[in-house]
Structure formats: C-alpha cells, structure tokens
Amino acid sequence: MKYADLSMNVLLLLPALFLSAISGAIAGDTRSVSEPVVPQSCQVLKANGAADSTNYIQDALNTCASGKAVYLTAATGSGVFYSGPLKLPSGVSLRVDKGATLLAIANPSLFDTGNHTCGTLDDTGKGCNPFIQIKNSSSSGIYGPGSIDGQGNATMTGKSQSWWQLATAAKNKNTKQNAPHLIQIDNSKNITLYQITLKNGPNFHVASNNSNGLTLWGITIATPATARNTDGFDPMGSQNVTLIHSRISTGDDNVAIKAGNASSAHISILDNHFGTGHGMSIGSEINQGVSDVTVNSLTLSGTTNALRIKSDSSRGGKVTDVTYENICMQNVKNPIVLDTRYDSVATGSLIPEYRDITFRNLNVLTAGTFTFMGYSASKPLSLRLDNVHISKGSVWHKQYAIIQGKAVEDGVGRCDN
C-alpha cells in the first residue's frame, strides 16, 4: 500500500534507534490512500442562532446532489449550529467550515430509539440513536476544519446530570448508560473524515460496523480523560481502514479495533499522536478475528496504556499479523499489554489467541509495566521484540508467552509532539 505525504515528524526520535523509514509498501489497508479532496458545495448554510437547526441541516442534506457537500459556515455574531440527530444520505457529505461548530443538543428525547431509555441506565445501553449516522452509504464524508461538539459535559434536558455523569453512575451501579455515539458508520464503504475536530462525545466519537474503506485523515479528537466510555475511533467488523496524521485524546481507548460480529482486517494506523486515553487497543470483542494490522509512527504521551490487545474466554478469537513499528512513548503506565484474561472471572470457550505480533523500533522513555499474559501452556502468546528500548525500573509480567528477541533497558531521548 502507498500513502501520499506520510510525515516522519514523530518517527525519527533518535537517529541511532530509528534508522528504518516507512517503506513505500506497507501491509494493512489494501487501498491506495491519498489526501482527501473536499467536495464542492451543493448548498451553504449560515449559522442563524436558532435553538434547533436539525431540519434546516437535514433538508439540505436530503436535497444535496451525490458527490457534493452541505457547507456549514459561521455568520456575523454566530458560528454555532444546534442540532439533534442527522443522517448523511449515500454520496452526500457534510463540511463544517472554519469558525463554525455543529453542536449536539443535549436532549435525550431527540436521540431516543423508541423505548424512552435514552439518557437512562439499563442492561443494554442501546437506547440512543447517534448524533450523525452514516448507514448503507457509499462515498459520503465529514470535512473540517470546523468542529463537531457532542456536549457530553452539558446537563441533559429534563435531567440533573450530564451524559458523562450518567456514564459514571453506570459504572458505580454496574449497569450501562444510554448515550449517543457522536458518529456511527454502518454497512458502508469509502467513507471519509478529513480535518474535522470532534470533541466532548457523550459516548464513542467514531464507531464503524461492517464497513469497508474508511479514511480518517488529519482529524482531532479532544475529550477529557475523565469522560468515561468516550472511545476515539472504534473500527468494528471493518476492512481497509486508515487513520493517519491525527491526534486523539479521550477518556477511554484512543483506538479500539474490534471484531465481535464480523472480522476486522487490513487496518493501518499511521503517523498519529495519542494523548490521554487507554491507548492503541485491539479488543476486547475479537470473536470473529482481527488480522493484518499495521501501527507505524505513533507517539503516545500520558496515555494509560500504549499498545494493548485485550480479550477473554467470553469474547476471544484470533489476533494475527499485527506490527507495531517506530513507536515512541512517555509517561505511560502500561507500555505494552497483551492480556488474554481481560475479565478475570469470564467463562466461556472463546479462547483468545495472539500470534505473529511484532514490536519493532520502540522507544519507551519512562518506566512502566509490561504484561504478556497468554491463556495456557497450550495457548501461549507468540510475539517478537526487535530493537525495543525501555526505561530502567520497568516491571515485566510474563506467563504462557513465547517471546523472540528482547528489550534493552536504555530508553532515552524525547518524543516529538
């Protein structure tokens, strides 16, 4: 696979350690991915200060010609569009221009799926429609450089708490919160997110399911570390995915590749920066298998976990052919976590298997805990360490793991941001 304009800014952290550059052909996404081009406008909408612009925006999307985009632009005195849930028709895109913000109205009734559970706690957590839905679509997209704000920190209409406070209550009561995803992509192909800033998601920011061909280029996700269940990007049961030149700080997984209902494969995570969050994750649902994943040129700063594969016997499967290469991290509690017993009390026959996992050209600048936990002697981990440098004082946990190579305790330098 070839990528245009693949920056090396965060790659060459220490010349002596990172001599290899990203080659022209990289495993992962099988497409030829280049920088997206913003579609021409079919209609330009100006912020009008209205309390609810849902119909204003949706009507424009519904009448937009395929291959074009509705532009949201700031007007004198206002740059905010307040909206309830929106749907992008196939072939139609949305652009939020500089100075404009698309703001989700924090009213659970607008997002409710019909059972009047959105904004409440229950055992399913499936009571809300997403803020922006892309479903059964082809060649749609969301473009910046403006912002989309999910208002996860705003008190919900008719409630005494915010979406994030609802998520905290769910954790305390061992149940699930009904809160909308910011952007949900289902059963779609060739979808693009470009130079858009996403923030304050009530729940996951970008989630895909059973989709093929996703490009996230130059996006920013910015949500506080304390906001529970606010994953940055979750490609689930999806193929041919590229996340490139992006920055993600959030309150849960920065990225979580999942395969609960369908396999995920051919995924490239290239030239990105992760701040707060739970790291570059695979799992925990991997029932249908995850394969052919490349994570190249990644900087992590202040992330709870860095490179993590997590599952257990209730949702396990095979994770194979994963390469982490040219990675720098600092102030990370758990630099590498390969855990087949994510839920220590889980029971079932879906045993996780992690094989052909490679860590190459890693520089870990601060001490942390490394965990390599295979399932059993007959189901061990299989991985390789190649030019891995870690900080002195690190803790190493290993069980049922076959490790080729070794880590050297001389990680020094800095990670460029």
Q: Catalytic residue numbers?
A: 252, 278
What is the CB-side half-sphere exposure of residue 10 using CA atoms within 13 A? 27
In the numeric block, which tokens belong to residue 377? 């002697």
User: To which residue do tokens 């994770």 refer?
Assistant: 319
How many other β-carbons are positioned within 10 Å of the β-carbon of residue 300? 27
The CA distance from 61 to 43, in Å, is 9
86 CB burial (10 A radius; 0-12, 13-18, 19+): buried
Question: Quick check: helix, strand or coil at residue 156?
Answer: coil
The CA distance from 273 to 196, in Å, is 15
The CA distance from 165 to 155, in Å, is 9
C-alpha angle 271/186/166, rounded to 5°?
85
**Strands (DSSP E) along 195-250, which ranges?**
197-199, 206-209, 212-217, 220-222, 233-236, 239-244, 247-249
- Picking from 325, 270, 281, 271, the residue whose alpha carbon sits closest to that of residue 303 is 281
**How far, CA to CA in Å, does 364 sit from each of 112, 183, 229, 293, 370?**
45, 33, 27, 21, 11
Give the contacts of 378 (CB within 8 A, at least 6 positions apart): none
The CA distance from 259 to 240, in Å, is 14
Range 46-52, long-range pairs (CB < 8 A, 24+ positions)? 46/73, 46/74, 46/75, 47/72, 47/73, 47/74, 47/75, 47/78, 47/79, 47/80, 47/81, 47/100, 48/75, 48/78, 49/77, 49/78, 49/80, 50/82, 51/82, 52/82, 52/83, 52/84, 52/105
Question: Quick check: helix, strand or coil at residue 340?
Answer: coil
The CA distance from 51 to 34, in Å, is 38
